[in-house]
Amino acid sequence: MSWNYVAGFFDGEGSICHNGKGFRIYIAQTNEDVLKDITDFCGFGKVAKVTKRKKHWKDSWIYYIARQEDVYSFIKGVNKFLVVKKGIAQKTIKALDEYFAKKENRKKVLERKISIAEEMRLKGASYRKIGKKVGLDWGYTRRILLKRGIK
């Protein structure tokens, strides 16, 4: 198994979908073993059986990836081998780069707020006052501080 093989398979049978929450990768197939091999090769994703809509249809399965970090890894792995889906893959990579940058920024902002909350609590400020100052719900602030051992 190689990224070249997976890319060819994905180019012909797969899709990249975007919903409000993020991107998903799907590959539909009537051979479950191939999808399991892809799952083993990638190290992520799931294989699920598709419900038949007509009795005479063959059994089919779908390989899907929903976790954004895994979608990114998959697209980066297959990108240089894609032909048909190359354009959408590059747009997906760009969108996920922006998503991860924003996520990292939000994480830093939250850490800064928590740091301020810790200082204020150690000086005796109430959870409500802290919450108002840092722009977080006071109950959420309390849970975070208690989890960190600050009462």
In a domain, 91, yes or no: no
Integer Cα distance of 123 and 121 in angstroms: 5
Tell whether 99 is covered by a domain: no
Its domain, for residue 72, covers 3-84
Q: Sheet containing 60-65: give its strands across.
A: 14-18, 23-29, 60-65, 46-50
The last residue of one of the domains, among 30, 49, 84, is 84
7-29 pLDDT per residue, tens = 999 999 999 999 888 999 999 99
- Residues 38, 111, single domain; the answer is no
The verdict on residue 92 lying in a domain is no
Mean pLDDT of the chain: 92
Inside any domain, residue 89: no
- pLDDT single digits (tens) 49-64: 988 778 888 888 999 9
pTM of the shown model:
0.77
Q: Provide the number of structural domains found in the chain.
A: 2
